[in-house]
Amino acid sequence: MTTSPSAFAPAGAPRDAGTGPERRVIRAREHCVEVVSDSGEGAQKCGQSFGAVSAKMGNGVWTVEIIPAEIQPPARTPAGASGVRIRLGSGPVTNWGDHAELVVAFNEQVLLARHRQNALADDAVVLLESSWRDHEDETVRTAWQNALEELGTRHYRIVLVPMQEQCATVVDDARRGRNMFVLGLLAGIYDRDAERCREQIAQTFRKKSREVYERNALLFDLGRTWALEQLDFRVEVPTTPHDEPMVVMNGNTALALGAMAAGMDLCAMYPITPATSVSHYLGDVFEDAGGIVHQAEDEIAAAGVAIGASYAGKVAFTVTSGPGLALKTEFLGLAVMTETPLVVVDVQRGGPSTGLPTKIEQSDLLAVLFGQPGDAPKVVLAPSTIEECFHVMVTARRIAESFRCVVFVLSDANLATGVQPYPRPVPDERWLATPPDLGPVPEGLRPYDWDPRTGLSRRFVPGQPGGMHTLTGLVHDENSKVSYAPGANERGCAMRSRKIAVLQSTLEPPVPHGADAGDLLVVAWGSTRGAVEEAVDRARDAGLAVSSLHLTFLSPLEPGLREIFARFGRVMTVEVNYSDEPDDPFVTDENRRRGQLCMLLRAQTLVDVDCWTRVPGQPLRPAEILTAIRARLAKGGRP
């Protein structure tokens, strides 16, 4: 550990940019930076602004929020670490990477948290607020010393930055202004366009007064100047200007915009992390576009309201996460049974029970597929990028309506808060739902006039003369009459199931990333795509015959899997859910509990698919996936 003498330059040093120390240039195609503070100090705002500006300048960007477990964690504790990781690239960035190469920390305790989570590269540069070192309170000074000792076990280069002291020259409450000062630091280090940064600050504070903007712009300038004058390095991640218009947002905003683009009318929900922000954003803009957010009394009611609205001819969806999903179960069975179109967004978090409310996991796949008592076939889609979060809503709505079925969209906490630029969609009127036909029901048509081959039927909407019938969750015949005849249940089940097969017949086989054949195929789904493909690329660069296959449709599964699997020596899923390790005590090949996609693939393809899964409460890193790939290849044999 070294501390830079430049950090202690006298406050009255020259202020013009460019007159500072000779600056070493770190040139990289990718760079990963973290900003961490106590909760409420604005590191997230700072990091997200930096990410947005970088995206605008033509860098690939992926940002991940570092979220403390509590709303008001104690100040200066590792548990309270709150912030953002921003991974920049010259080309597109698809995941959060491995280790941070630069960290800006507002105190040594939150830095310690990241250190303990092995989030920092061994040679990371750390810009650390210096005011705590000489704090009047002895316990603070001791904590500082202990922390620096612990940090000293690695080769970080710690640069002390008098953030508070600097901010105090412009604002009264210097602790509060630090985030924009830090934005300035980053702008100096990464040579960000100052004008764009100021625009971003204006955007961030658009609901506040002009004075607030000006104060923050001043803090930004101060930070930038300080970096230019005092730091002996800068980082250059070449930008590639986009040749098409781009937008940048997180996955939940993309889902919300997708819902609007799909022509949805109603979002019925009950607040639950990490799904809620979909409704926050929609609550802000939906009504301008003819929609409403209904905050129901609980998740059960949210599902019921959505089903009622859909039955009545509007396009409705409900959005939730694990515990809320559990509550919706019975209503979802009803929607399946009555063939009422419904889109359900599940932004997965860690479980079971309250689990890890703010953290990523992919543990709801089987619950979504098999969570209803009885046979309740439905469609399950998993977006894997922010862009897909947008487009998946259009697909989901269309399938729900044309197949009269429940469509699940499985997102997760990684996509929910991850920010990434993507090509600006060109909204199309054809994406919107056509309003229901309220004309008379043609003579002789029945409420469930199933086409015996496909199971498809046309639904009646209240208001249509001649279509009166009672929809029921009881077993029913084509006339929607309750029936206990032995054939009736058989037939209803077959018709609802058939639709899933029909949908599958319209899908194309997926295309592996890498090569068409090889020693190992890694199969994954959802938000792990970027990390998995990066790991595969690294493995291939190292000469390993590894490919990956990313599935968007999980029910029905995409066609041709068995054939694809047959071209690889081994097949292994990589998932963020729990599985036993083969060599765990008592675990045998027969009782081993495997990853959720793994179980599904084994059942559907009869291929001896293996799995490597982890539930760390954070996104997977490409490096650990690569290690798992190497380990799997080293084990040889099949599985």
Partner 1 sequence: MTATCTLTDCGAGEPVELTMADYQGAVARWCPGCGDHSVLSAVQRLLEAHQLAPERTVFVSGIGCSSRFPHYLRTYGFHGIHGRALPVATGIRLARPDLNVFAVMGDGDCCSIGAAHWVHAIRYNVDMVALMLDNNIYGLTKKQTSPTTPLGFATNTQPRGSYLPPLDPLSVTLGVTNASFVAQTADWAPQHLYRTLDAAFRHRGFAFVRVLQRCPVWTSSVFQDLVRDPSRVEILVHDDGIRDESTESVHTHHVEHDPGDIDAARRLAEEGGTRLGLFFRDPERPRYDATRRLPPYTPADRIAVLEREFDRHAV
Structure tokens at 468: 């009166």
Is there binding between residue 1 and partner 1 (CB under 8 A)?
no
Cα 460 from Cα 469, distance rounded (Å): 9
Is there binding between residue 392 and partner 1 (CB under 8 A)?
no
* Per-residue binder mask for partner 1 (CB under 8 A), 42-81, x = binder: -------------xx-------------------------
For residues 246 and 326, which CB has a smaller minimum distance to partner 1 in the complex? 246
- Span near partner 1 by CB under 8 A; candidates 18-26, 100-108, 145-153, 302-310: 302-310
Kindly state the smallest distance separating residue 469's Cβ from partner 1, in Å. 7
DSSP string, 577-611: S----TTSTT--TTTPPPPHHHHHHHHHH----EE
Tally the C-alpha atoms within 13 A of residue 99's C-alpha that lie toward its C-beta.
15
DSSP string, 3-67: E-GGGG--TTS--STT-SSPPEEEE-SEEEEEEEESTTS-HHHHHHHHHHHHHHHT-EEEEEEE-
Kindly state the smallest distance separating residue 56's Cβ from partner 1, in Å. 5
- Span near partner 1 by CB under 8 A; candidates 21-29, 91-99, 271-279, 311-319: 311-319
Is there binding between residue 144 and partner 1 (CB under 8 A)?
no
Is there binding between residue 482 and partner 1 (CB under 8 A)?
yes
Tracing tokens 């803009």 back to the chain, one arrives at 285
Cα 378 from Cα 369, distance rounded (Å): 7
Is there binding between residue 317 and partner 1 (CB under 8 A)?
no
Is there binding between residue 309 and partner 1 (CB under 8 A)?
yes
One of 21, 40, 283, 308 touching partner 1 (CB under 8 A): 308
For residues 466 and 560, which CB has a smaller minimum distance to partner 1 in the complex? 466
108 touches 75 (CB < 8 A): no
Residue 539 burial (C-beta neighbours within 10 Å; 0-12, 13-18, 19+) = buried
Is there binding between residue 427 and partner 1 (CB under 8 A)?
yes
Is there binding between residue 86 and partner 1 (CB under 8 A)?
no
User: In 138-243, where does DSSP find H-type helix?
Assistant: 138-151, 163-167, 174-189, 194-204, 210-230
Please name which of 101, 125, 105, 122 lies closest in space to residue 113, comparing C-alpha atoms. Answer: 105
In the region spanning residues 456 to 475, those forming contacts with partner 1, defined by CB under 8 A, are 460, 462-474
Number of residues interacting with partner 1: please give it, by CB under 8 A: 68
Kindly state the smallest distance separating residue 242's Cβ from partner 1, in Å. 7
262 three-state secondary structure: coil
Is there binding between residue 294 and partner 1 (CB under 8 A)?
yes
Kindly state the smallest distance separating residue 555's Cβ from partner 1, in Å. 23
Print burial letters for 141-157: b (CB count within 10 Å at least 16), e (below 16).
eebbeebbeebeeeebe
One of 66, 86, 267, 303 touching partner 1 (CB under 8 A): 303
**DSSP 8-state assignment for residue 191:** T
For residues 84 and 302, which CB has a smaller minimum distance to partner 1 in the complex? 302
For residues 26 and 194, which CB has a smaller minimum distance to partner 1 in the complex? 194
* Sign of the dihedral through C-alpha 38, 69, 276, 394: positive
Is there binding between residue 93 and partner 1 (CB under 8 A)?
no
CA 270 to chain CA mean position, Å: 20
Please name which of 41, 90, 85 lies closest in space to residue 419, comparing C-alpha atoms. Answer: 85
In the region spanning residues 327 to 356, those forming contacts with partner 1, defined by CB under 8 A, are 330-331, 334
In the region spanning residues 254 to 273, those forming contacts with partner 1, defined by CB under 8 A, are 257, 260-261, 263, 265-266, 268
One of 9, 17, 148, 296 touching partner 1 (CB under 8 A): 296
Residues 6+ apart with CB under 8 A from 150: 112, 115
One of 70, 149, 287, 581 touching partner 1 (CB under 8 A): 287
Whole-number Cα distances in Å, 124 to 158, 316, 490: 8, 48, 63
Kindly state the smallest distance separating residue 137's Cβ from partner 1, in Å. 44
Is there binding between residue 304 and partner 1 (CB under 8 A)?
yes
Kindly state the smallest distance separating residue 272's Cβ from partner 1, in Å. 16
* Per-residue binder mask for partner 1 (CB under 8 A), 354-383, x = binder: ------------------------------
User: 334 phi and psi, to 5 degrees?
Assistant: -65, -45
- Span near partner 1 by CB under 8 A; candidates 97-105, 290-298, 521-529, 565-573: 290-298
For residues 314 and 570, which CB has a smaller minimum distance to partner 1 in the complex? 314
In the complex, the residues that contact partner 1 under the rule CB under 8 A are: 55-56, 242, 245-249, 253, 257, 260-261, 263, 265-266, 268, 285, 287-292, 294, 296-298, 300-314, 316, 330-331, 334, 421, 424-425, 427, 429, 432, 460, 462-474, 481-482
